[in-house]
Amino acid sequence: MFKILAASLAITFMGAAPASAPYAIKSGLFQAGEADLGLEAAPGSETFTIFAPGPETEKFSNGVVLIPFNGKLYAQWQSSARDEDSTDTWVAYSVSDDGRAWSQPKTLASAGTNGLMRSSGGWWTDGRTLVAYANVWPEGFQSGAGGYTEYRTSRDGLTWSSPRRVLGVDGQPIEGVIEQDPHLIDGRVFTAFHLRPGMIAQPFHTDDPLGVTGWTQGRMTNLPRDVSTAAAPHERRLSREIEPSLFRRADGCVVMVFRDEELSFRQLASASCDRGATWNTPVLTDMPDARAKQSAGNLPDGSAYLVNAPNSARPRIPLAVTVSRDGRLFDRSWKLRGQADLQPLRFEGQYKRPGYHYPKSVVWNGWLYVGYAANKEDVQVTRVPIEALKSR
């Protein structure tokens, strides 16, 4: 799997980072006011449930992340009895041989004590070892103090090492939580950390194939933020850019896509054309976004894709995949899940609402797999044949 990723994402970097928006959206691609924004269903798409809540189970789930390892597909997410960002949150995982049937959830990182909280941090692998990240919030998420990242490793996907801290290039632990989907581009691993105190999103890269040491911060200036009306402590110490994902353009530049905390309901983006050393100040794009995280990447033919809820308002519906041949103009989009096939919200809980939340994606065995939480309850995965996403 590692060799496949390396081959499909290998690029040559060139030039300086641009100052304009790194990508654009075809005019009229999304039809406001139409059901599911007028999008057609992705041909051949299928949806499977990894975990569904019941009367005796946890009622809250979110932060679903996928990765292939040793011929299987792994899913990680965070779960709690009722509420989001509560101290009883723990990190679960499940395994599938075919992407359809999934094992019973197991504990990857247990709930904290004395106010400490753990949440889903995602996966990485060098092809031989599976790395599971978990984000640790010593004072809880709601304190606004931020946190750090720990990781566990496994050679068989069954037994796990004790947790250790993720290290920077100086050999010291990074004081920040990792975003959930690192990307391998030209032999270099890219992601972002949200640095403390607070959560200030910054790009990082490492040449460690395992993604646990040598992380180096790129140079990026965050946009200013109006926090005068932010009431919660974690909002006052939060950058405008948060929860990014990545893709590479055909010209060799790496693009980091952000959720915008200033409620523009559009994506922010920054680009680096020097292997992550420098990034332009993020720019507001014309890609609508309901602020539910997003997932970006590249298909095996090099096309770039964006998975998100491309709604210019709060409803995180529909869930869609939008594709570009060169990473410059995204001109094709398909619905993965829409309003009509969303199950009802079954249990009450803090911050729970209908919709498709926090998608993350991966390419595996000829399919694009997208994991997400429906209504922040059901852990689900939708897959679509890669062939269906090619030019028509």
Q: What is the pLDDT of residue 6?
A: 34
Residue (of 148, 174, 147, 187) closest to 8 by Cα position: 187
- What's residue 233's pLDDT? 61
Range of the domain at 144: 2-389
Confidence of residue 389 (pLDDT cuts 50, 70, 90): very high
What's the CA gap between 322 and 308, in Å, rounded? 8
Taking the alpha carbons at both ends of the chain, their separation in whole angstroms is 28
Q: How many residues does the chain have?
A: 392
% pLDDT > 90, the chain: 90
Cα separation of 77 and 81, whole Å? 14
**CA-CA-CA-CA torsion sign (39, 309, 270, 180):** negative
252 near 12, Cβ under 8 Å? yes
Name the domain count of the chain. Answer: 1
Contact 94, 108 (CB under 8 A): no
Mean pLDDT of 337-351: 96
Predicted local distance difference test score (pLDDT) of residue 390? 86
Whether residue 128 has pLDDT greater than 80: yes
The mean pLDDT of 11-36, rounded to a whole number, is 76
pLDDT value at 9 more than 80:
no
Q: What is the pLDDT of residues 163-206, one digit of tens each?
A: 999 999 999 999 999 999 999 999 999 999 999 999 999 999 99
* CATH code (residue 84): 2.120.10.10
- Helix (H/G/I), strand (E/B), else coil: 38: helix
Contact by Cβ (8 Å): 158, 337: no
Q: What is the pLDDT of residue 234?
A: 63
Displacement of CA 204 from its chain's centroid (Å): 15
Share of the chain above pLDDT 70, in %: 93
Distance CA 110, CA 113 (A): 10
- Give yes or no for residue 17 having a pLDDT over 50: no
Evaluate if residue 129 carries a pLDDT over 70. yes
